[in-house]
Structure 1
């Protein structure tokens, strides 16, 4: 029953894929916690990530990756499969393509349900999160040039605000920067990935009179 209510909530609360436009503006951003750091009038590069929600019998889980240690940027960080849009490509198509290229996730096993809030990153990307529903845990194969590890995180953990915390860093001579973090087991989910999860939780449950009860309906 919990999987059924979760899927229905996703269908009802997410933006339909057909409503996506390359002109969409960011709803959430890295600057929500650092408004004074927002650069004025910059152009954002379009990107998309896939949030694969896996309908496990014991409760939903979300597929994530740990980026390769050999990458030039964001080495070893936790991420969703994703990347830049190719010219003329939609967000949904880009997310599925990137998931195939990064972890060999077969697009045929992913039911694209809808879009979460567009997210502006500090590095100048406008990221559209594409939520996909998987009937069972998929077969994956990480591309060694891009991904070091593929793993699943329980949906209940990610949607529990008790697991969301504000962390910060400060480089020499620069103001302190704040970000969301969701440490899970030995992994540190933070930055853009945590911000997108936090925004998804707000979209799905934020306007409920008692959000915790709504989360409980979808929990295992």
Structure 2
């Protein structure tokens, strides 16, 4: 296993945080699997999530949350810490602030390695994934108003495409909606969170002749 190679790959393949722009176009979206769905013209609201990668000696993990059942939207869903940008914030500042507010993650413990592909949600947000590196397992405390649970998922599970599947649901009106899902144990990782993970894998390993071997080198 080589945490060093994983960190080096992240630094090499991610965009530097300084390259982020508030008007940057999304590279991925909820519409990728649903090209026929209505896509209204609109100004996307900027948001950011933190993808916290924990460099555990036994293998890298990614910190995720399960949203509180009392929230007005996306109740109970698996997510990265994050939310919309406050006035004057950039993506990194927003992601770190939201992680502090949601799970009491100390910003000083996070080394920001870069930003991944911007993601457009069907709800009208342009989400910037900010990738952070933690050399020690963090002490976290979920805010009960926002987060029901904090947990870690192995990096090699998330990067294995055999764990990525296309699921769907049929809304009361309109066409069937497809989305990415990555069920892990009793948790159902899906939607934008799963799509951001899949896009991150493509950015890191998409041009490798043997991507599975490269993933193994980084996090097996």
Q: Mind listing any 5+ residue stretches in structure 1 that lack a counterpart?
A: none
* 1:185-200 aligned within 5 A: 185-200=185-200
CA distance in 1, matches of 2:42, 2:198: 24
1:37 equivalent in alignment to 2:37: yes
Q: Within the alignment, does 1:88 sit opposite 2:94 as a pair?
A: no
User: Which residue number corresponds to residue 6 of structure 2?
Assistant: 6
Q: Distance in 1 between matches of 2:38 and 2:110?
A: 35
Instruction: Identify the residue that residue 27 of structure 1 maps to in structure 2.
Output: 27
1:60 — aligned with what?
A: 60
Structure 2: how far apart are the matches of 1:22 and 1:207?
28
**Residue in structure 2 matched with residue 129 of structure 1 by the alignment:** 129
Q: 2:160 maps to which residue?
A: 160
Alpha-carbon distance between aligned partners in 1 of 2:92 and 2:191, rounded to the nearest angstrom: 22
Aligned-partner Cα distance in 2 for 1:133–1:2:
14
Listed as ranges, the gaps of 5+ residues in structure 2 are none
Aligned to 2:212: 212
Distance 2:80 2:66 in 1: 9
Match in the other structure for 2:145: 145
With normalisation by structure 1, the TM-score equals 0.98
**Partner residue in 2 for 1:173:** 173
Q: Which residue of 2 aligns with 1:104?
A: 104
Count residues with an aligned counterpart.
220
Instruction: Report the Cα offset of residue 18 of structure 1.
Output: 0.5
Superposed structure 1 runs of 4+ greater than 4 Å apart: none
Q: Counterpart in 2 of 1:48?
A: 48
> Superposition RMSD on alpha carbons, in Å?
0.8
Partner of 1:18: 18
Q: Deviations over 1:149-192 (max 9, x none)?
A: 00000000000000000000002232100000000000000000
Give the secondary structure class of the aligned counterpart of 2:172. coil
Question: Once the two structures are superposed, what CA deviation does each residue of 1:100-138 show, in whole Å capped at 9, x if it has no partner?
Answer: 000000000000000000000011000000000000110
Q: CA deviation at 1:38?
A: 4.2
Give how far 1:210 is off.
1.6
TM-superposition CA deviations, 1:5-38 (whole Å, max 9, x none): 0000000000000111001000000100001114
Deviation for aligned residue 1:208: 1.0
